[in-house]
C-alpha cells in the first residue's frame, strides 16, 4: 500500500504475522469505515487476536501495511496508540483490587487528577451496572461483570477506535445483551469499534460489515445480510412422532425447499437448509409451507425450530462453493484458499451436517448456536 483512504478508521493491505512456520495472519486486507462497528468473525486460531494486536501496535507485522486513521502502525505507532484502546480476550484488570480501585488507578495512570479519576470511575461503574459491586475485589465478580469492568477500563478515556476481542465469549445471553448495549452506546458517542467474535449472531446484531477469517485469511467480507443470504436463510429442524415416516418426510422437505436434508443420529430428526432470501420472513414462509406439506401427507411433527445459519454453515457454504465454483461467491474475498475446506470439515467433525453448531464450543448438543437466542 502506498497511501491510505480518508474516512477509514482502519486500512490494511497484505498484513502478515508469522509464528515459526505458522502464518497466523496471512495477507489480510481490511477497510473499516470510521464510526461503525466492524465484525471480524472466525473460529479458534483463525488469527483474530493476532490481527487485532498488530492493529493496536502490540505486535509488529512481518509484512504488509496497516493504517489506523491514516497513521502507520509500524512507522507511527505512538500516533496510533494515542487514538486506540483494546479490551483483550482475557480480562486485564487487577483481580485483587476492587472495581473502583481498578478504575481510579487506571485514571491516575492515564494522567488524570484524583478527583476526576474518582468521579469518572463512579460514572462508569454506574453506566455498567456495577455500582453495587464497586467496593468488591474483582476476583469475586462473575464472568459477565468482569467483561463489563474490562470494557469500562478500556473506555475510561473515550478512544476513537476500540478493539473488543471476543467481548462476550462465555457469557450467558443476558450478560451478552448487556455488553451489546454497551457497544451500541460507545459507537453512538462516535467511537469506531472493531469487534472479534465467534458468533455470527453477535456480528449480525452489532456490525455493519463483517470479515470472515480463517487460517489467517479473509474468506468473505460484506454486510451481515450479504453473508447470510450467501449461505441460505437458515435451517429448519424437525422431530417426527414416527421414525417410519422419516424417509417420506425427507422426500417432501427436499421437494418443498429444494435443498439438501440431513438426517441426524436421532431416528426421528431431520434438518433441512432453507435457501436464501436475505430476509427472515421469507425463510419463515418457506418453513411454514414445508411443514404444511408434511401435515397434508399425514406426517405428525412433534417439534420444530427455525434457525439462522450457524457459523459452521457459513464456513461450509463458503468453502464448498469455493471448491465448486472457484470463488464466485457473493461477498466473498478473492483469495479463498481451498485448504480452508479441509480444516472446516475437520472442525465440524462430519463434513456436511452443521446441526451441532460446535465452533463456539458452547453448543448444547441440540440445535446449538443455530437456534436464535432470545433477545430479551
Ligand atoms: N505468541 C504466539 N506464538 C506462537 N503462536 C501464536 C502466538 N499467538 C498466536 N499464535 C498462533 O497463531 C494462530 C492464530 O492465533 P490467534 O490467537 O490470533 O487466533 P484467534 O482467532 O484469536 O483464536 P481464538 O478464537 O481462540 O481466540 C494460532 O495458531 C495460534 O496458536
Ligand atoms: Mg483470540
The string of pLDDT tens digits covering residues 229-248 is 776 667 888 999 999 999 99
CB-side neighbour CA atoms (13 Å) of 344: 27
Rounded to an integer, what distance in angstroms lies between the CA atom of residue 357 and that of residue 348?
8
Q: SS3 for 251?
A: helix
Cα(360)–Cα(241) distance, rounded to whole angstroms?
31
How many helices (H) and strands (E) would you count in the chain? 12, 14
Nearest CA to ligand 1 atom 27: 44
DSSP type of residue 250: H
- Closest atom, ligand 1, to C-alpha of 89: 27
What mean pLDDT is predicted for residues 357-365?
A: 27
Q: Which three cell numbers stand for residue 62?
A: 512481518
Would you say residue 154 has pLDDT above 50? yes
Distance in Å, CA 70 to ligand 2 centroid:
25
Query: Ligand 1: which residue has its CA nearest to atom 8?
Result: 50
What 3-state class would DSSP assign to 18?
strand
Closest CA to 226 of 260, 194, 200, 255: 200
Q: How far apart are CA 158 and CA 156, in angstroms?
A: 6
Cα 54 from chain centroid (whole Å): 19
Cα of 372 vs centre of ligand 2, distance in Å, is 24
Say which range, 27-36, 160-169, 314-323, has the weakest mean pLDDT: 314-323
**How far, in Å, CA of 161 to CA of 37, rounded?**
10
Give the residue-averaged pLDDT of 268-272.
91
48 within ligand 1 shell (Cβ under 6 A) = yes
Instruction: Kindly report the pTM of this predicted structure.
Output: 0.72
Residue whose CA is at the smallest distance from ligand 1 atom 26: 44
B/e letters for 39-66, b = 16+ CB within 10 Å, e = fewer, are: bbbbbeebbbbbbbbbbbbbbebeebbb
49 lines ligand 1 (CB under 6 A): yes
CA angle (30, 56, 213) in 5-degree steps: 35
pLDDT at 145 > cutoff 70: yes
DSSP single-letter state for residue 137: B
Longest CA–CA separation in the chain, Å: 75
Residue 68 confidence (pLDDT): 97
Question: What is the mean pLDDT of the segment spanning 153-161?
Answer: 88
Q: How far is CA 183 from CA 1, 251, 303, in A?
A: 31, 45, 36
Give the mean pLDDT of 283-296. 90
- Give the residue among 308, 95, 63, 285 at the shortest CA–CA distance from 203: 308
Ligand 1 in reach of 46 Cβ (< 6 A): yes
Which has more pLDDT, 167 or 327?
Answer: 167
pLDDT in tens, 77-127: 999 998 998 876 665 789 999 999 999 999 998 889 999 999 999 999 998
Amino acid at each position: 500500500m502506498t497511501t491510505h483512504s480518508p474516512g477509514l478508521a482502519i486500512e490494511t493491505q497484505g498484513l502478515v504475522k508469522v509464528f515459526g512456520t505458522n502464518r497466523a495472519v496471512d495477507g489480510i486486507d481490511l477497510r473499516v469505515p470510521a464510526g461503525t462497528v466492524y465484525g471480524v468473525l472466525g473460529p479458534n486460531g483463525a488469527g483474530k487476536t493476532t490481527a487485532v494486536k498488530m492493529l493496536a501496535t502490540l505486535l509488529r507485522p512481518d509484512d504488509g501495511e496497516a493504517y489506523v486513521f491514516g497513521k502507520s502502525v509500524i512507522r507511527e505507532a505512538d500516533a496510533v496508540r494515542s487514538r486506540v484502546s483494546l479490551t483483550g480476550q482475557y480480562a486485564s484488570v487487577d483481580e485483587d483490587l476492587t472495581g473502583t480501585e481498578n478504575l481510579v488507578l487506571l485514571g491516575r495512570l492515564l494522567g488524570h487528577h484524583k478527583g476526576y479519576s474518582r468521579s469518572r470511575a463512579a460514572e462508569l461503574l454506574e453506566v455498567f451496572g456495577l455500582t453495587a459491586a464497586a467496593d468488591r475485589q474483582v476476583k469475586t465478580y462473575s464472568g459477565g461483570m468482569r467483561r463489563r469492568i474490562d470494557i469500562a477500563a478500556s473506555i475510561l478515556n473515550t478512544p476513537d477506535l476500540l478493539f473488543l476481542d471476543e467481548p462476550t465469549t462465555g457469557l450467558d445471553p443476558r450478560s451478552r445483551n448487556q455488553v451489546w448495549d454497551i457497544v451500541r452506546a460507545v459507537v453512538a458517542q462516535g467511537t469506531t469499534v472493531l469487534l472479534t467474535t465467534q458468533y455470527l449472531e453477535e456480528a449480525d446484531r452489532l456490525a455493519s460489515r463483517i470479515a470472515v477469517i480463517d487460517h489467517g485469511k479473509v474468506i468473505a467480507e460484506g454486510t451481515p445480510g450479504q453473508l447470510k443470504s450467501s449461505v441460505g436463510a437458515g435451517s429448519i429442524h424437525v422431530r417426527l412422532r414416527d421414525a417410519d415416516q422419516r424417509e417420506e418426510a425427507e422426500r417432501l422437505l427436499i421437494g418443498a425447499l429444494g435443498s439438501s436434508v440431513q438426517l441426524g443420529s436421532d431416528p426421528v430428526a431431520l434438518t433441512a437448509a432453507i435457501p436464501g432470501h436475505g430476509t427472515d420472513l421469507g425463510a419463515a414462509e418457506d418453513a411454514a409451507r414445508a411443514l404444511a406439506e408434511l401435515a397434508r401427507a399425514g406426517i405428525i411433527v412433534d417439534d420444530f425450530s427455525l434457525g439462522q445459519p450457524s457459523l459452521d454453515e457459513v464456513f461450509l457454504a463458503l468453502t464448498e462453493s469455493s471448491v465448486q465454483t472457484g470463488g464466485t461467491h457473493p461477498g466473498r474475498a478473492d483469495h479463498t484458499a481451498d485448504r480452508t475446506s479441509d480444516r472446516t470439515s475437520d472442525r465440524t467433525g462430519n463434513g456436511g451436517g452443521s446441526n451441532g453448531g460446535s465452533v463456539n464450543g458452547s453448543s448444547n448438543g441440540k440445535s446449538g448456536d443455530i437456534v436464535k437466542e432470545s433477545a430479551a
